[in-house]
Structure 1
Amino acid sequence: MRRRAFLGAVGSVASLSTLAYATRGSAETLAVRIWFSEAAATYDGVADRIREYLEETLALGYWTLDLSVGGTVSVSTEDAARLTSRGEWPMAVAAGELGRRELEPVSDVNLLVTDGGMEEAPTGYGIPHVASVGGARHIASLDAFDEVVSGTRWVVPNTPPARTIQVLVHEIGHALGLDHGHGVAFHHGGAVIATPMLSSYAWDPAYGADSSRCGTTLPTSKDRDRKLSLAFSSCARRALAAYDGGLL
């Protein structure tokens, strides 16, 4: 579904032969570039905070992380999910790849951060190599990684800033080919903790699945605290280890 959405979005900009997946070794560079809407760019320190968290969460040993900031992008709305799901951001990336816009995409993840609200889902959206997420104001208010994350499972509280950075990691996961089934939830310290690809779907009654492709069932969150983890599940990490796609 997400790959078809991307191809449909770029169809009016480029032929399908222009955008393709390249084969590469799994232990090479993972290129991630971040852009900001004009509203998101007004928050001091937001780029540095994203860089700090991604340097931790994407340091998986499968690649050398090449993390860069692309600059500011004018957008029609701060609704991050709409910008990708309805094609505006994928079309901008495609136009940049074709030299028709002053925007230089990278091969793996092209992430747009907006100041969109994080109260009602969807708050972000990700398709192959392209993603967007709202909540710039929340990311800017995050404390340093070592002050927020606890334990080897990288548990964080279910607060707006921590939830926003987890959604950002979640959408990057989609851009790299992961889906919600690569996420798990588990009981730990009296709480239910959800990993990035599952996130708050773990306690959403409307979420249809009762198990993950990792082979685990979703535990009940009734009468338990709800917390988040910034660490990808083991099966998500296995999928990322096999990632070999790149946007030409």
Structure 2
Amino acid sequence: MNRRVFLGSLGSLASVGTLAYATREPVDTVEVRVWLSEGAAQYDGVADRIREYLERFLDFEFWSLELSFGEPVSTSTEDGARVTSSGEWPVALAAGAVGRRDIDPVSDVNLLVTDGQMREAPTGYGLPHVASVGGARYIAELESVDELYDLSEVDTDRRVVPNDRRIRTMQILIHEIGHALGLQHEHGVSFRDGDAIVATPMLSSYAWSSNYDGDHSHCGASYPDPGDHARKLSFEFSTCARRELAEYNGGLLYSRQ
């Protein structure tokens, strides 16, 4: 189902209110609010690590980031994709918007982080202004940005990092936020770095997936054949993605039925 159609149907599904899209003047502040599921909240330092990475990689010259955290949320599943694709998380946001749950959504990005698995896709899900992702335990194990960049295997000139589960989980979290802000997979790129293929957040592991049909980005950059090359990651949005984000002027409106 089309992501916009899916989200637009949730107001009637919830019977608590309507989530509507709104355009506004080009924004200079983007609001991102993060909630942890009860399973995710059991890991010390998860919120601090998310804050650090988002403040680093969502900080652009064309907007200021207003990042906040809600209280832990009770969910029926810790699956980072299903909690949104089933409608549970969007419906909870709709209920919170009209005062029926202790959840206060923001206009731009409402992200739920769970303790879901990160081995088999999908591990997260993103709709306009709504996203969720699993992997809290791996985020808790992740180094700070500076510690990660200090590792000898990191290409500090191009900010290329290893493709391990902890790092990939944080990149997928950024990927789902990208979807919530209107980005698609083709806003990502992959590129050669020595003997490795590096994927930026919106393309992520699709860069070496045989199930992904794309061969070039939205802005025309060709994707190199991954072949048997090593796989590495970048946390930084591609130039193509940043151009799209610079034009962002969306938001959600909430109204009672």
Who is 2:199 aligned against? 194
Q: Write the distance in 1 (CA, Å) between the matches of 2:225 and 2:107.
A: 39
- Secondary structure, in 3 states, of the residue corresponding to 1:20? strand
- Secondary structure, in 3 states, of the residue corresponding to 2:117? coil
Q: Write the distance in 2 (CA, Å) between the matches of 1:162 and 1:23.
A: 34
Contact 1:184 1:214 in 2 (8 A): no
| TM-score where L is the length of structure 1 | 0.95
Measure how far apart 1:227 and its partner are.
0.2
Contact 2:197 2:226 in 1 (8 A): yes
Measure how far apart 1:95 and its partner are.
1.0
Who is 1:9 aligned against? 10
Deviations 1:83-138 (Å, cap 9, x if unpaired)? 11110000111111112211100110000000000000000000010000000000
Contact 2:116 2:136 in 1 (8 A): yes
- Secondary structure, in 3 states, of the residue corresponding to 2:115? coil
Q: Write the distance in 1 (CA, Å) between the matches of 2:21 and 2:190.
A: 34
Deviations 1:36-71 (Å, cap 9, x if unpaired)? 110100000000000000000000112111101111
Contact 1:21 1:246 in 2 (8 A): yes
Who is 1:132 aligned against? 132
> Residue type matched to 1:125 in 2?
Y
Measure how far apart 1:19 and its partner are.
2.3
Deviations 1:129-183 (Å, cap 9, x if unpaired)? 0000000000000001012244353321100000000000000000000000101
Report matched runs for 1:236-247 at 5 Å.
236-247=241-252
Contact 2:172 2:204 in 1 (8 A): yes
Fraction of identical pairs, as percent: 58
Q: Cα RMSD over matched residues?
A: 1.5
Give unpaired runs (5+ residues) of structure 2.
150-154
Q: Write the distance in 1 (CA, Å) between the matches of 2:185 and 2:24.
A: 24
Contact 1:9 1:88 in 2 (8 A): no
Who is 2:152 aligned against? none
Who is 1:229 aligned against? 234
Contact 1:10 1:90 in 2 (8 A): no
- Out of 163, 183, 186, the residue aligned to residue 188 of structure 2 is 183
> Residue type matched to 1:25 in 2?
P
Give unpaired runs (5+ residues) of structure 1.
none
Q: Write the distance in 1 (CA, Å) between the matches of 2:35 and 2:17.
A: 24
Report matched runs for 1:97-246 at 5 Å.
97-149=97-149, 150-246=155-251
Count of aligned residue pairs for this structure pair: 247
Q: Write the distance in 2 (CA, Å) between the matches of 1:233 and 1:65.
A: 18
| TM-score where L is the length of structure 2 | 0.92
